[in-house]
Structure 1
Amino acid sequence: SSGIINPSRSVVYLHKGPRVRGLLRDESEYLLSPKGKKYGEEEENLSNLKKFLGDEYKLPNNLILQVLTHKSFAHGFKPFNEKLAIFGSHYLKYKTSLFSINGNGDLSSQYAVNGLELGQLGSKPARDLISKHVLAQFIRFSNIGDSIFWKKRDPLITNSEVSGEDSVFARTLEALIGALLLQHGKAKTEKFVDEILLNES
């Protein structure tokens, strides 16, 4: 024996068309958003969020794609936004709590302390600020929804709450805030939340 090892060669065939048991499918055929966009860092996928963020809140392409990818897409096989959303969700709750108690409400009430209306905490208006529906609407109005990669519970359901769309869109906004915190830090993210999300004008 010469001691030479001949590595075995393997051939991988990527199948296109109808699914065939035992064959790997070509990702470009099934990794599609509900709007039919192919998964990847192509400008078509990222441009709406890039335009929304502008130069001030710019994020790297791979982070933008992760923000736009929900865990339901590709069975969590691609980088998804869940941990970013948890991070962003906690910060958003903190910021909306401050917004709610700062001069919103009756400062002569028993809950007013040092000019802060603590009675507003947990109130319906305060909860509505970060409700799933409100956050999802923000994503829709900002023209980001069509760029999100996720899998509908049932492709035939059009109701946004039943299909899971509201939940996915809300998580995307929370993930965006988490990504901004990681990339730009607290001060710039605070400016984003105050001037873009909580701007009353």
Structure 2
Amino acid sequence: MSIRQTTHYAKRSMALLNQLRFFQRSTSVSFTRSIYLHRGPRVEGLKKDPQEVFINHNGIEYELNQNNIQHIKSYLGDKFQIPDEIALQIITHKSFGNGIKPYNEKLATMGSKLLSLFAAKHAINKPTEKDAKLVINGKNLSILGSPKAKELHGRKSTGYFAKLNGLNKTMFWKSRNPTLNFESSGELKVSSQMLYSLIGAVNIYHGKAKAEEFINDNLIKGLEEITDELVHRG
């Protein structure tokens, strides 16, 4: 092949290559895919909308706004006020949203212990019964083993207290069957933990003395009335 033929062949090949590149660019096709995200009861074959995880069974969306936390802030008042984001954490259980959002478990642990100690001191300072077997320095320690003393800071009394005072009006948690009653659905347990965490938060932001003042001013009388009813019913 002569030099002229080789040059001609190279130019022709380059022209064909450029035409091919132009054809590829002009005929390129893009594809888009639409994904349907299903809300409501699970349906086989449909992808569930992940945002639905952050809506409680009453249809309330998890977010920091006054509608969600106002019942907590109102109950605390100015005297025992806490940051808004902590108020939201108080009403959030670890079962909600796969535990992604800040939940109240650690605050509840602290509040439970503080309420238990306060309830014990409150019980032994009651007038000593004549048949009390263990009295030390005028303190009726025998009462600590009674059903009333045990339930005063227990799950049922605190759970029902939260319900009767509207403190569980808005909570973010997940129930296997929210149509069941207050106890069977798990709402009692979650309400109790919420109240414990409320005490724990007051303790964190105001100190132990102020937290005990909160219990004394806002909780103990109502807890005693509920406990009396629970013990009476057996």
Q: Is TM > 0.5 for Structure 1 vs Structure 2?
A: yes
Aligned to 1:162: 184
Specify the structure having the higher radius of gyration (Cα): 2
Aligned to 1:17: 38
Specify which of 205, 208, 215 is matched with residue 186 of structure 1. 208
Q: Structure 2 CA distance, aligned partners of 1:15 and 1:115?
A: 71
Aligned to 1:49: 72
Q: Structure 2 CA distance, aligned partners of 1:180 and 1:196?
A: 12
Q: Structure 2 CA distance, aligned partners of 1:50 and 1:15?
A: 39
Aligned residues: 187
Aligned to 2:107: 84
Q: Structure 1 CA distance, aligned partners of 2:208 and 2:96?
A: 30
Residue 74 in structure 1 maps to residue 88 in structure 2: no
Task: Tell me, yes or no, if the aligned pair for 1:104 and 1:120 is still in contact at 8 Å.
Answer: no
Deviation at 1:15, TM superposition (A): 6.2
Q: Structure 1 CA distance, aligned partners of 2:64 and 2:137?
A: 49
Identity %: 34
Over residues 76-130 of structure 1, what are the superposed CA-to-partner deviations in whole Å (9 max), with x where a residue is unaligned?
A: 1110000100011111110000011012441563311111000011210101211
Provide runs of 4+ in structure 1 moved above 6 Å: 19-24
Ranked by relative contact order (alpha carbons within 8 Å, sequence separation 6 or more), the top structure is 1
Specify which of 40, 47, 56 is matched with residue 33 of structure 1. 56
Specify which of 83, 86, 91 is matched with residue 63 of structure 1. 86
Residue type of the alignment partner of 2:79: E
Over residues 1-29 of structure 1, what are the superposed CA-to-partner deviations in whole Å (9 max), with x where a residue is unaligned?
A: xxxxxxxxxxxx996434798978352x3
Higher helix proportion: 2
Q: Structure 2 CA distance, aligned partners of 1:183 and 1:14?
A: 46
What is the root-mean-square deviation of aligned Cα atoms in Å? 2.4
Over residues 35-64 of structure 1, what are the superposed CA-to-partner deviations in whole Å (9 max), with x where a residue is unaligned?
A: 221101111101111111111111101100
Aligned to 2:125: 102
Q: Unpaired segments of 5 or more residues in structure 1?
A: 1-12
Stretch deviating more after TM superposition (33-42 or 63-72): 33-42
Q: Structure 2 CA distance, aligned partners of 1:14 and 1:141?
A: 44
